[in-house]
Structure 1
Amino acid sequence: MAKIADSMMKHILVPAISNIHVSVLVECGPEHTVSVLSVVHSEENKDNRDGSNLYSRIVDVIKFVCKFICMENSKWVQFFAKLTWPRISDLVITHFLSKAVPNEASKLIEFQDVVQSTTEFENKLRSMMFLLPDRKDGKLTQFVDDVEVHFAVRKRSEILVKARNILVQYDYDSPLESGDQGDSVVDLLFQPEKCFTSKSALLVMKLVHGALKDASLSSARVAKEFCFAARDVLLLYRAIVPVQLEKQFDSLSQVAAIVHNDFYHLSQEILGLAFQYRADFPSDLQKQVVFVDLAPIFSQMADAILRRQIQLTVDTISEAIDGAEGFQNTHQPQHYESAKFSIEQVVFILEKIRIMWESILPRSIYRKSMCNVLGSVFSRITRDMLLIDDMAAEETLQLQGLIHLALENLSSLFLSLVENNDGSTKFLDHDAWIQLDGILPSLKKFRKLAELLDMSLKSITSCWESGDLVRCGFTSSEVQNFIKAIFADSPLRKECLGWIVRTPA
């Protein structure tokens, strides 16, 4: 019987199940000396969406076996079934049922025809004593009963494959060169601002929304898988992108600014998911499925990327300032040229950062980040100049010129920081400087230092007494050391220093 079963599987059942363009032909009767079972090619296109034609072919084969091989002996039939049914059911699942699982949640209802025909097929086999009546052999029925699970698992897998392909294949090195970059400028959900976002992040978010929309239309069992797929897509982005772009994050790059925006944009979108979809989820899932826990992860990642870029910028500029050697002895041509080159390098780096950030980062984040960098730069240069312990008259003029050089060449950067500047203003007016001094205290001190370098001793003392220098951020010791560095020892200097010591800040 085992050899017969193997032969029937190989020559009859496998072709009959795996190929839809075949028919089972039974030749028997008085006009035939022997009964013949064969599988023949058929050109007829039959509708097999519910599997009824496939099941009919299998039933014809088993009827033949029961009648002509097992001689309608129930024990022989059940023994033949024991040898062949596991293989038959696996073939049916592989070649028909798994392929019939719907691709869309809306088509799950249509699958009920497959469920019905499969149930009728197994019941027919039970009536022939091929399957036991206790339904323990109902492998196909069990499969179709769990079709929602199969559908959801397959869709979850497909969604993750799509997400991975998007993340791996997207070219972050030239995101601004695409002709549809306008579509990448998006409104932030919880901020009255816009920012440039990569197509990668937009496509990932589209997958998330698609999964959650399907979840809203599905049963609780399917909806749960869709919700987990949406979470998995977001976590996949978090896992792949930082590793994939680690080298870009280690240098000053526009890619880092764009990825910051991606994480920032996604963090806000994640917060909105609960408001957008939760009410439409099956009631069993409304409290189980949450996304709000992911928002801080993305927000923190955005902050970390931007902080890293800011620190890299500050470190790069600090190296440029180091080349000025403390701005000492600028009255000597060689030292002056070194200091001037240092200032030019600082301006170049800042302008490069402005170009990279201004068109990418959200307006408020751009201003905050640039102010952070500029605050560090102006504080460092001011501190170095105030630490000079002896300045010749010519040296003060050279230092003043270097400060003016920096301020003049950074005018476009300053304009980009002015609130309500639409780009039409080309010059910094009084109101603009007041605004800049308010958001950049170190700039106010830097500009005041340029004035001090050309002021008389009495004027400096008067500025201190009026509180003007304090409002600009100068300390008593800084002013005293500055006076000692510029002015030679004299009764007037002692008197002025005394006034400064006695006058509270």
Structure 2
Amino acid sequence: MDVLFNTIDVRDLLPSQESPSSQLSAPDLRLLISRLDAHSLRIKSTVRSYLLSHHADFSSLFSQCSDVVSKSEHLSDNVVALLNLISDEPIEADVGGIVKEVVEKRRELGEKREILEFVGVVLELDRKLGMVREDSKSGRVVEAAEGLMELKKALGVKGSGGDDDLAVEGEPVVYGILKKQWNDCFEEIQELLLRFMEKAVRFDQEGNALHVMSRPTMNGIDGLELYTVLKAMDIAGILINGLAKIADLITKYVFIPVLNRKETPLFNEANDQSLGHVSEAVLKMVTSVDHESNKVDGETMYSNIVRIVEFVNKFLCFHNGSWMHSFGRLTWPRMSDQIISNFLSKVVPDDASKLAKFQEIRKLTVDFERSLKELMFISPSDVKAEKLSKFTDNVEVHFASRKKVQILAKARNMLLLSNFNLPQDYMTKISRLNKKEIAEDLTNHVVLLFSSEKCVVSEAAKQLMELVHQILKDVCLLPPKVGLEFYHTARNALVLYEAIIPVKLERQLDSINQAAVLIHNDCLYLSQEILGLAFEYRPYFPSSVKEIAVFIDLAPKFQLMAEEVLQRQIQLVMHNLKQAIDGADGFQNTHQIKKFESAKFSIDQVSFILEKVHIVWEPLLLPSIYEKSMTMILEAVFSRIAKEILLLDDMAAEETLQLQRLIYLLLEHLSSILEPLLAAGPREKSFEAQKDNLDEFILSLRKLRKLAELLDMPLKSITAAWESGELADCNFTASEVEDFITAIFTDSPLRKECLFRIDNLNMRKSTAV
């Protein structure tokens, strides 16, 4: 049979071995076909021979195949029968139920196992809580604190316990119970340790001594060392709470008396011979020898404080840096503030020349803080704890701040206590002096810096300016940092006037009085003095101060304030004069006795008001301001009276005489006011020339005088005066003249002719224009 499995190579059947790529010829192909046929016949003969020789084997094989097929058919019938049986009774439902029951039983078994494990944990936690309580009662406070912290982590307690940690949503109730038990246990241990601390460290007020016991006895617990108590507190996280009351006690009865230089510490140790250690340390406070003296000895005070801290470090904190730092955190802030307020602030120099001497105190302070750092009383790396050194480093600023407070307090008191009422004899003396020749002995007279005029100012303004000049002189001599503070002090002192005086004299500003005029003068004086400060002092300021020094911004405020005060006074005068003139009822029917008396009373009131203003203003105001203000007021008064008379539409002959009398009466009353204004002109002029000059100065005065003449002037003369331009020069209008003629003279051909002439002249003037 090997011939069937051998590979036939066609090339072996060819006659020659040529290249595989060469083409076959027709004879070659025929030869190849014949050889393949021969080979095929040989294969068939070989197969037939093989089958005949193995006939028995092939018969046995076919018999076995027939048996296998028969058995397969039988198995198929059995499977069909089984499927029919299953389809008649559905057993899969029972199998599903059994499976579910098995799963549920397994789940319940797992839960019970977990519950058993949880119960075991709870029982273990409860056992440990019991051990903590037992350790606490037996005095093993360190073991109790360690067990407590272990339980805290196991129970998930945050912070130091409390109601917020007792119940957590989704947590088993038993955990809340255990947390409450832990919290109760924590409170018990904390209370026990705090009571031990109070027992170990106490201050005997009768003996004035601090006692620190190394082995306090309490609640039947004997031999518990203070060191052990502090260690337990540290482990439990309540060391700060435990030291807080002790720190407050030591600060109150030990540190503060030493800082106030009233007491000095003495130290004593009581040794226990049997145990070989110090059983009790005593720090006794004795009255200081120089506590009543005002001398401040910083070196002794610092030395006593360091000795006290060393005592605490040795007998209370047992040279434990962490404990000592906790004690320092509780005492140092308060103690450092006391040192600054009771010592350092009091030795800040009052004079700039003493600043160098303060450096000795600064060195003592730096050494003091270094000693406290070495004892871990304050942290070596905490810059904020160096409060004393920072204070001494900034002594120049503190010096300037103290001087600033003193200067501003002085300025404030000066302004609050100032008196703006000048004595009567002083006013009389001023009124008799020539304005251009003010006497030198009148101290409140000042010369305005940027004008040649002099005025009276308040004592407060003069003293305030003297104070400012002194401050700025100091700025030129002081170090830059101090000079800058003094510069701001000078500005603030000036601002105080603006802030205090208007409020203090608010009621006086609502009436005509000396105070209001003095405030006006003060503001003028201060504004001009302020403008001169930069020119006078700025070149001599330190360079850093020179760069920012400015005063010009303050001057306009005082200039505006002066103008506001003056305008307020003028408005008050105008208001009073208006009310007085309103009382004349338009000067109507003055030929009647009652009406004339009413008008005369009104004129008297106007004269009285103007005379009062003259008496108050003239001696105090600058001449130029007085003349300008009084001219404005007189202009308004004369213009109003002339207008009221010209508005009358009918006047009897007797009435015109009465009106004329009232005008002359007014001018006579105001002669004391007008004469000083006349004196303002050249003295060599005649009185008539001066009067004409004043009429030009106060236009309505000339009109009022001319109106008095017109009241008894014939019609033709009035017409001639208009035609000559005399009335126009006195500020009369054509309509005013026509209405005046109509009111005085009855209707007649002459009146018509005069009115025509006036109207015709007015029309010609209008056409010419």
Tell me the TM-score range normalised by the shorter chain: 0.7 to 0.9
Q: Which residue of 2 aligns with 1:433?
A: 691
Over 3 Å counting, the alpha-carbon distance change for 1:128 and 1:335 in structure 2 is closer
Q: Which residue of 2 aligns with 1:163?
A: 411
Q: Which residue of 2 aligns with 1:197?
A: 457
Residue type of the partner of 1:477?
A: S
| 1:454 aligns with one of 712, 716, 732 | 712
User: Is the CA contact 2:681–2:690 (under 8 Å) kept in the aligned structure 1?
Assistant: no
Deviation readout 1:61-96 (Å, 9 max, x if unpaired): 334445565565555554544443333322211210
| 2:629 aligns with one of 369, 388, 393 | 369
Over 3 Å counting, the alpha-carbon distance change for 1:25 and 1:418 in structure 2 is farther
Gaps of 5+ in 2: 1-229, 231-242, 272-277, 431-441
Residue 17, structure 1, aligned to residue 17, structure 2: no
The structural deviation recorded for 1:363 is 1.5
TM-score by length of 2: 0.59
Deviation readout 1:375-405 (Å, 9 max, x if unpaired): 1100011111111222223222222221111
Residue type of the partner of 2:337?
A: D
Deviation readout 1:476-496 (Å, 9 max, x if unpaired): 221222222223334443333
Residue 494, structure 1, aligned to residue 752, structure 2: yes
Alpha-carbon distance in structure 1 between the residues aligned to 2:426 and 2:256: 53
Alpha-carbon distance in structure 2 between the residues aligned to 1:421 and 1:176: 31
| 1:271 aligns with one of 528, 531, 535 | 531
The structural deviation recorded for 1:475 is 1.4
The structural deviation recorded for 1:142 is 1.0
| 1:151 aligns with one of 396, 399, 419 | 399
Larger RCO, structure (CA 8 Å, separation 6 or more) = 1
| 1:122 aligns with one of 362, 369, 376 | 369
- Which stretch shows the higher mean deviation, 356-365 or 229-238? 229-238
The structural deviation recorded for 1:104 is 3.9
Over 3 Å counting, the alpha-carbon distance change for 1:74 and 1:311 in structure 2 is closer
The structural deviation recorded for 1:251 is 2.7
The structural deviation recorded for 1:26 is 4.5
Residue type of the partner of 2:734?
A: S
SS of the aligned residue for 1:61 comes to: helix
1:51-450 equivalent positions in 2, closer than 5 A = 51-66=298-313, 74=321, 77-127=324-374, 130-134=377-381, 136=383, 137-172=385-420, 174-176=421-423, 182-420=442-680, 429-450=687-708
RMSD between superposed Cα atoms in Å: 3.4
User: Is the CA contact 1:106–1:217 (under 8 Å) kept in the aligned structure 2?
Assistant: no
Residue type of the partner of 2:580?
A: A
Alpha-carbon distance in structure 1 between the residues aligned to 2:357 and 2:626: 53
Gaps of 5+ in 1: none
Residue type of the partner of 1:276?
A: E
The structural deviation recorded for 1:178 is 9.2
SS of the aligned residue for 1:38 comes to: strand
SS of the aligned residue for 2:446 comes to: strand
Alpha-carbon distance in structure 2 between the residues aligned to 1:74 and 1:226: 45
Over 3 Å counting, the alpha-carbon distance change for 1:492 and 1:224 in structure 2 is same
Deviation readout 1:247-296 (Å, 9 max, x if unpaired): 32223333222222222222222222222332233322334232322222
Alpha-carbon distance in structure 2 between the residues aligned to 1:312 and 1:199: 26
SS of the aligned residue for 1:195 comes to: strand
**Equivalenced residues, count:** 500
SS of the aligned residue for 2:500 comes to: helix
User: Is the CA contact 1:23–1:57 (under 8 Å) kept in the aligned structure 2?
Assistant: yes
Residue 38, structure 1, aligned to residue 284, structure 2: yes
Identity of aligned residues (%): 50
Q: Which residue of 1 aligns with 2:728?
A: 470
Alpha-carbon distance in structure 1 between the residues aligned to 2:413 and 2:540: 29
User: Is the CA contact 1:22–1:41 (under 8 Å) kept in the aligned structure 2?
Assistant: yes
SS of the aligned residue for 1:186 comes to: strand
Alpha-carbon distance in structure 2 between the residues aligned to 1:391 and 1:82: 99
Alpha-carbon distance in structure 2 between the residues aligned to 1:339 and 1:117: 87
The structural deviation recorded for 1:125 is 3.6
TM-score by length of 1: 0.87
Alpha-carbon distance in structure 1 between the residues aligned to 2:604 and 2:326: 92
Residue type of the partner of 2:388?
A: L
Alpha-carbon distance in structure 2 between the residues aligned to 1:313 and 1:119: 68
SS of the aligned residue for 2:357 comes to: helix
User: Is the CA contact 2:264–2:286 (under 8 Å) kept in the aligned structure 1?
Assistant: yes
Alpha-carbon distance in structure 1 between the residues aligned to 2:294 and 2:518: 52
For the pair shown, the structure with the greater C-alpha radius of gyration is 2
Alpha-carbon distance in structure 1 between the residues aligned to 2:509 and 2:601: 28
- Which stretch shows the higher mean deviation, 278-287 or 292-301? 278-287
Deviation readout 1:182-214 (Å, 9 max, x if unpaired): 432322222322222222333333443344334
Alpha-carbon distance in structure 1 between the residues aligned to 2:697 and 2:654: 33
User: Is the CA contact 1:24–1:57 (under 8 Å) kept in the aligned structure 2?
Assistant: yes
Over 3 Å counting, the alpha-carbon distance change for 1:51 and 1:330 in structure 2 is same
User: Is the CA contact 1:320–1:342 (under 8 Å) kept in the aligned structure 2?
Assistant: yes
- Which stretch shows the higher mean deviation, 3-12 or 106-115? 3-12
Residue type of the partner of 2:289?
A: E
Over 3 Å counting, the alpha-carbon distance change for 1:476 and 1:130 in structure 2 is same
SS of the aligned residue for 2:544 comes to: coil
Residue type of the partner of 1:38?
A: K
User: Is the CA contact 1:50–1:114 (under 8 Å) kept in the aligned structure 2?
Assistant: no
Alpha-carbon distance in structure 2 between the residues aligned to 1:97 and 1:472: 80
Over 3 Å counting, the alpha-carbon distance change for 1:323 and 1:22 in structure 2 is same
Residue type of the partner of 1:388?
A: L
Residue type of the partner of 2:746?
A: A
Residue type of the partner of 2:258?
A: A
Residue type of the partner of 2:653?
A: A
Over 3 Å counting, the alpha-carbon distance change for 1:80 and 1:345 in structure 2 is closer
User: Is the CA contact 2:419–2:459 (under 8 Å) kept in the aligned structure 1?
Assistant: no
Over 3 Å counting, the alpha-carbon distance change for 1:12 and 1:385 in structure 2 is same
User: Is the CA contact 1:457–1:493 (under 8 Å) kept in the aligned structure 2?
Assistant: yes
Alpha-carbon distance in structure 2 between the residues aligned to 1:110 and 1:177: 53
User: Is the CA contact 1:415–1:428 (under 8 Å) kept in the aligned structure 2?
Assistant: no
SS of the aligned residue for 1:291 comes to: coil
SS of the aligned residue for 2:406 comes to: helix
Over 3 Å counting, the alpha-carbon distance change for 1:70 and 1:337 in structure 2 is closer
Alpha-carbon distance in structure 2 between the residues aligned to 1:192 and 1:413: 24
User: Is the CA contact 1:48–1:54 (under 8 Å) kept in the aligned structure 2?
Assistant: no
SS of the aligned residue for 2:464 comes to: helix
SS of the aligned residue for 2:739 comes to: helix
Over 3 Å counting, the alpha-carbon distance change for 1:418 and 1:43 in structure 2 is farther
Over 3 Å counting, the alpha-carbon distance change for 1:149 and 1:391 in structure 2 is same
The structural deviation recorded for 1:15 is 1.4
